[in-house]
């Protein structure tokens, strides 16, 4: 792995780690401020990093096929695998499970964090369409930035105005979920594109600078101070899944400072902590599986430890470790079993693995033949 991008893999590993930590049930028992701090970083970080690694050489058609295979396929495969367990997970009708899966938002999915995948698919497609338009019309970067700020502002206003707006699709919501905008949003969370696409495009525009990112100690310190002050001064929260965007200026400031701090920490870790770098890089590689399965595992393990030990910190740590380690192990197993890899992993990656294995086998055969 090249040193110049190693810190980005560490940052991706830190991102998925923060997502899992943010879904830990310990936050139901402690100060909600900690939850708000994590929400101000984790999802924006994910979309920013997705923009950094976005391959803008693919046409819209090829990109769509690639993301159908790499993003939507594991989403639907996981839901199909979980489907037989649905009667055990919920008393809601099976048709509601299917309808909610197709609607694809946090309020309609039994495994809430999966909302990110169908939405990420839309982000890729929308970003590609915008880049095509910007290239044809020769839209300047400053104008793109202005359009992005306008888009985020519209999203903030929309969240304020549509909170209690009824969604006339009660069959997609679970019995405990009211069919209103703040709970359901639009299909595949399309309404969030006003925020997520600008973040994605910022990451893409800054990709070269972020690949050679060098944090400045003074800026990092000031960013930390600003991050703490902004959270202290404002109780407003930004939670994309819940359509919450309370404080326009403070929430954006918290996100900018938080992302800078994560990137700074990633650079330092990649240079000075090889063991932690290895662990976070492995977490980044398994991030899809961690995203898919962490919430269910974490909740189950947390409740198990609370029922048997009643020690909150032990339950939190054990459930967090289980939610990180078990999906990472599942990723390794799936990667090595061809028919499972076809179901969950991009076909391009599966083909590369097969070609590498074939080349390795051929090379070993030639060595044996020459030695004999």
pLDDT tens readout for residues 118-137: 999 999 999 999 999 999 99
Nearest to 49, CA basis, from 220, 283, 232: 283
* 159 within a domain of the structure (yes/no): yes
Angle between helices 287-308 and 73-82 (to 10 degrees): 30
263, 291, 325 - which closes a domain: 263
* 289 within a domain of the structure (yes/no): no
Question: pLDDT confidence of 353, banded at 50, 70, 90?
Answer: confident
* 77 within a domain of the structure (yes/no): yes
**Per-residue confidence (pLDDT) for residue 372, from 0 to 100:** 53
**Per-residue confidence (pLDDT) for residue 83, from 0 to 100:** 74
**Per-residue confidence (pLDDT) for residue 193, from 0 to 100:** 97
Query: Which of 199-213, 216-230, 295-309, 344-358 shows the lowest mean pLDDT across its residues?
Result: 344-358
263, 282, 307 - which closes a domain: 263
Residue with the two structure tokens 């090889």: 274
* 322 within a domain of the structure (yes/no): no
Summarised one tens digit per residue, pLDDT across range 169-212 is: 767 776 666 778 888 889 999 999 999 999 999 999 999 999 99
Question: pLDDT confidence of 97, banded at 50, 70, 90?
Answer: confident
Summarised one tens digit per residue, pLDDT across range 58-75 is: 999 999 999 999 999 999
263, 292, 318 - which closes a domain: 263
Q: Give mean pLDDT, residues 355-363.
A: 65
- Residue 371's domain comprises 340-372
**Per-residue confidence (pLDDT) for residue 65, from 0 to 100:** 97
Which residues have a Cβ under 8 Å from the Cβ of 257 and sit 6 or more positions away?
223, 224, 226, 227, 230
The pLDDT of residue 1 is above 50: no
Q: Give mean pLDDT, residues 340-346.
A: 94
Q: What is the pTM of this model?
A: 0.91
Per the structure, the count of domains in the chain is 2
Mean pLDDT of the chain: 89
Same domain, 245 and 350: no
Summarised one tens digit per residue, pLDDT across range 256-269 is: 999 999 999 999 99
CA–CA dist 156, 192 (Å, integer): 10
Asked if residue 245 lies in contact with residue 251, where contact means CB atoms within 8 angstroms, the answer is yes
* 45 within a domain of the structure (yes/no): yes
The pLDDT of residue 3 is above 50: no
**Per-residue confidence (pLDDT) for residue 175, from 0 to 100:** 62
pLDDT over 70 percentage in the chain: 91
* 115 within a domain of the structure (yes/no): yes
* 79 within a domain of the structure (yes/no): yes
**Per-residue confidence (pLDDT) for residue 270, from 0 to 100:** 95
- DSSP assigned state of 115: G
Question: pLDDT confidence of 327, banded at 50, 70, 90?
Answer: very high
Question: pLDDT confidence of 34, banded at 50, 70, 90?
Answer: confident
* 324 within a domain of the structure (yes/no): no
**Per-residue confidence (pLDDT) for residue 98, from 0 to 100:** 87
Same domain, 200 and 102: yes
SS (H, E, C) 273-311: CHHHHHHHHHHHHCHHHHHHHHHHHHHHHHHHHHHHCCC
Same domain, 353 and 229: no
Same domain, 250 and 356: no
- Tell me the two tokens of residue 294: 């962490």
Q: Give mean pLDDT, residues 318-341.
A: 95
Same domain, 165 and 254: yes
Same domain, 230 and 354: no
When mean pLDDT is compared over 24-28, 212-216, 232-236, the highest value belongs to 212-216
């Amino acid at each position: 792995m090249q040193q110049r991008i190693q810190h980005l893999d560490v940052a991706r590993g830190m991102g998925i780690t923060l997502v899992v930590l943010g879904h830990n049930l310990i936050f139901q028992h402690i100060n909600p401020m900690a939850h708000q701090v994590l929400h101000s970083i984790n999802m924006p970080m994910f979309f920013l990093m997705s923009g950094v690694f976005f391959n803008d050489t693919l046409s819209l058609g090829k990109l769509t096929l690639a993301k159908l295979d790499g993003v939507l396929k594991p989403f639907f495969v996981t839901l199909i695998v979980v489907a037989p367990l649905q009667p055990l997970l919920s008393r809601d009708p099976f048709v509601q499970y299917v309808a909610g899966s197709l609607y694809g938002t946090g309020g309609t999915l039994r495994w809430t964090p999966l909302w990110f995948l169908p939405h990420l698919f839309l982000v890729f497609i929308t970003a590609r369409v915008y880049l095509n338009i910007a290239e044809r019309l020769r839209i300047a970067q400053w104008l793109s930035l202005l359009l992005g700020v306008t888009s985020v502002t519209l999203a903030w206003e929309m969240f304020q105005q549509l909170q209690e707006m009824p969604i006339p699709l009660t069959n997609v919501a679970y019995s405990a979920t009211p069919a209103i905008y703040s709970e359901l949003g639009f299909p595949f969370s399309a309404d969030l594109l006003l925020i997520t696409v600008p973040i994605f495009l910022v990451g893409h525009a800054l990709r070269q600078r972020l690949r050679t990112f060098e944090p400045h100690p003074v800026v990092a310190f000031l960013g930390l101070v600003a991050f703490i002050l902004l959270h202290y001064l404002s109780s407003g929260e930004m939670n994309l899944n819940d359509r919450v965007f309370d404080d326009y200026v403070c929430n954006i400031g918290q996100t900018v400072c938080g992302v800078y701090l994560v990137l700074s920490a990633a650079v330092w870790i990649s240079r000075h902590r090889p063991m932690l770098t290895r662990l976070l890089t492995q977490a980044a590689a398994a991030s899809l599986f961690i995203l898919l399965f962490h919430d269910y595992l974490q909740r189950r393990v947390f409740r198990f430890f609370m029922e048997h030990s009643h020690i909150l910190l032990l339950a939190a740590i054990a459930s967090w470790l289980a939610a990180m380690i078990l999906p990472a192990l599942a990723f390794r197993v799936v990667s090595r079993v061809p028919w499972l890899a076809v179901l969950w992993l991009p076909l391009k990656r599966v083909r590369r693995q097969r070609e590498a294995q074939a080349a390795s086998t051929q090379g070993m055969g030639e060595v044996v033949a020459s030695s004999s």
